Amino acid sequence: MSDFTAHATDDVVEAARAWVAQDPDAETRAELEALIDGAASGDAAALAELHARFDERLAFGTAGLRGELAAGPNRMNRVLVTQAAAGFAAYLREKHGEQASVVIGYDGRKNSRVFAEDSAEIFAGAGVRTILLPRLLPTPVLAFAVRHLDVSAGVMVTASHNPARDNGYKVYLGGGDHGSQIVPPTDSEIAAHIAAVAAAGPITGLPRSTDFGLADESLVYAYVAATAAVAGELPGDTSLDVVYTAMHGVGWDTASRVFEAAGLPAPVSVAAQQEPDAAFPTVSFPNPEEPGALDLAMQTAREHGAELIVANDPDADRFAAAIPDASAEGGWRRLSGNEVGMLLGWAAAEDEAGTAHGAHHEPGVLAASIVSSPALGEIATHFGLGHATTLTGFKWISRAPGLLFGYEEALGYLVNPETVRDKDGISAATRFLALALRWKAAGRTVADQLALIAEAIGHFASGQISLRVTDLSERGRIMDRLRAEPPRTLGEVAVTSFDDLATGTVPGLPVDNILRILTADGSRVMIRPSGTEPKLKVYLDVRGDSGADASAKLAALDAALRALLAA
């Protein structure tokens, strides 16, 4: 039981006691001791909870680690994070020897700073040159730091937009990876080192050192300057009434500095959500995609007569925008990730098309994840640019050769690949505000710009169904059922193609656990398990002869898919 996991009832209490003996956190020690006492006295619920925490280990993958804060190997805690740091340190020493180096950042979630400091001591103790960011900062600053400081790797302690009870551990690589997140087989190689550390014994035997560096504010200044540059030249009139929300995260301080440096109008900040708060008291789920998450921002916008709302998620790697819409409840409508992707992608394509290049210049590339709207491909074709379809996640999007702009529908955008090779909600917000000013100077609103794009490439509409599950195996059962009994129709529309991307036989598309359904009216459905949340996600994309036609097709497709999933 040296790896502190258990599979037999007789072992689980012993494994839990061994965990308590090495746990440096008084809170998690106390909760585990209470479960041990309960299990020993015959409490079935306590015993079941021990098995839930000890029968499996939280897997380290391409998204690093992410899970609920609690004791045990299947939860996020100081023991697990220490083992992860030691394993990653061993990997870096194996690859880079004495030249191995790492920069570590953290956000405002519970235990983020503690996990970051534990990691810094473990990396330094393993002989890895270690730099800790000076304070809690957005994830994009850490991604920037990997390249700016020219280190071997980066670690960001964050659970991004997950619920308040979660935290996570995201890993980046420098050098030839240019600060992108890890991809296979690196994840499995690091995971093997972590498993070896866990099997070797308690973390109390691992060497630690406080001989690590602390980055100074010049790093933040460098990020601010580089990010402000994405705004480009602004029109003479920079008046724009904007509301911004940090959603209780770490975005406001850095984003407001960038907006000021870029010459953008100072937004009205949603005061109740401006400062970091690990409890996220005003939102049930701190994700701008979730219903109700922007309610306070919309209320503030109505009070101030604003023209635009911009938002970051808690670690500021995602960006959302909302616009006035008289037909929407409350008078405001959040733009979908695909709509923002079209707006930013169109602007990137326009800039590239208007740039003088030599005779041997290869056209730049617009990239999007496989579940994002086909509209970006139409934009690329319209401007004579390249287009790449990647697996979900910016670890793949950021690696597209010749990348000009990349996005995924889950509110992630990469507008400055030469600076940050990850989604960056602050640079996206900066770019979007600058574009909104230019459109306003030309007499257009954001909605007008969307209409202009639709006239050029067609009327696209997209939607999403998120089926949240309590048992992760339920996602697999639904996928298996659909594979065994593919639908022949969706509503009244015939299915023309049902493709299982896991087979690797779909031309032009990557291998992934995704089902693709194409219909006779040109609609597309993509179904996949979420990589970071207990959800089955369904992506709907339609193209219509007009905006009203596309909306009607989308509504009918949504109803058909909900009926299929409920069957």
pLDDT of residue 532: 65
Claim to verify: residue 308 and residue 369 sit in the same structural domain: yes
Confidence of residue 363 (pLDDT cuts 50, 70, 90): confident
pLDDT of residue 404: 97
Claim to verify: residue 267 and residue 391 sit in the same structural domain: yes
160 is catalytic: yes
Average pLDDT, the chain: 94
- In terms of Cβ atoms closer than 10 Å to its own Cβ (0-12, 13-18, 19+), residue 470 is exposed
Instruction: Check pLDDT > 70 for residue 441.
Output: yes
Instruction: Check pLDDT > 80 for residue 564.
Output: yes
Q: Tell me, yes or no, whether 81 lies in a domain.
A: yes
Which of residues 423, 457, 491 is at a domain's end? 457
Q: Tell me, yes or no, whether 225 lies in a domain.
A: no
Claim to verify: residue 438 and residue 316 sit in the same structural domain: yes
- In terms of Cβ atoms closer than 10 Å to its own Cβ (0-12, 13-18, 19+), residue 360 is exposed
pLDDT of residue 506: 84
Claim to verify: residue 274 and residue 369 sit in the same structural domain: yes
Is residue 540 within 8 Å of 564, Cβ to Cβ?
Answer: no
Claim to verify: residue 395 and residue 260 sit in the same structural domain: yes
pLDDT of residue 390: 92
Q: Tell me, yes or no, whether 129 lies in a domain.
A: yes
pLDDT of residue 8: 54
Residue located via tokens 């393993």:
126
Claim to verify: residue 451 and residue 463 sit in the same structural domain: no
Single-letter amino acid, residue 126: A
pLDDT of residue 360: 59
- Stated pTM of the model: 0.93
DSSP letter for each residue of 386-398? EEEEE-SSHHHHT
Claim to verify: residue 450 and residue 511 sit in the same structural domain: no
pLDDT of residue 9: 58
Which of residues 180, 215, 250 is at a domain's end? 215
Claim to verify: residue 442 and residue 470 sit in the same structural domain: no
pLDDT of residue 2: 44
Instruction: Check pLDDT > 60 for residue 359.
Output: no
Claim to verify: residue 394 and residue 480 sit in the same structural domain: no
List CB contacts of 133: < 8 A, sequence separation 6 or more.
Answer: 103, 104, 105, 106, 116, 141, 142, 145, 215, 219
pLDDT of residue 324: 97
Confidence of residue 358 (pLDDT cuts 50, 70, 90): low
Q: Which residue in the list 160, 336, 372, 373 is annotated as catalytic?
A: 160
Q: Tell me, yes or no, whether 143 lies in a domain.
A: yes
pLDDT in tens, 117-142: 999 999 999 999 999 999 999 999 99
pLDDT in tens, 43-64: 999 999 999 999 999 999 878 9
pLDDT of residue 1: 42
pLDDT in tens, 145-187: 999 999 999 999 999 999 999 999 999 999 999 999 999 999 9
Q: Tell me, what CATH number does 159's domain have?
A: 3.40.120.10
What's the rounded Cα separation, in Å, for the pair 545 and 107?
Answer: 45
Q: Where do the H-state alpha helices sit in 305-424? A: 337-353, 375-383, 394-397
Mean of pLDDT values over 527-534: 80
Q: Tell me, yes or no, whether 86 lies in a domain.
A: yes
Q: Where do the H-state alpha helices sit in 359-472? A: 375-383, 394-397, 425-441, 446-457
Q: Tell me, yes or no, whether 277 lies in a domain.
A: yes
pLDDT in tens, 281-294: 999 889 999 999 99
Claim to verify: residue 417 and residue 503 sit in the same structural domain: no
pLDDT of residue 504: 87
The helix (H) or strand (E) run that includes residue 32 is helix 26-40
Q: Tell me, what CATH number does 477's domain have?
A: 3.30.310.50
Is residue 388 within 8 Å of 366, Cβ to Cβ?
Answer: yes
pLDDT of residue 398: 96
Claim to verify: residue 209 and residue 330 sit in the same structural domain: no
pLDDT of residue 7: 47
pLDDT of residue 534: 79
Which of residues 396, 430, 457 is at a domain's end? 457
Better pLDDT: 470 or 480? 480
pLDDT in tens, 30-47: 999 999 999 999 999 999
What's the rounded Cα separation, in Å, for the pair 84 and 400?
Answer: 29
State how many domains the chain has. 3
- Cβ count within 10 A of residue 211: 11
Confidence of residue 356 (pLDDT cuts 50, 70, 90): low
Q: Tell me, yes or no, whether 293 lies in a domain.
A: yes
Claim to verify: residue 171 and residue 251 sit in the same structural domain: no
Identify the domain containing residue 550 by its residue range: 459-566
Q: Tell me, yes or no, whether 192 lies in a domain.
A: yes
**Which among 300, 309, 312, 165 is positioned nearest to 249, based on CA atoms?**
312
The partner residues of 542 in beta bridges, in order of sequence, read 461
Residue located via tokens 């991307």:
501
Is residue 525 within 8 Å of 556, Cβ to Cβ?
Answer: no
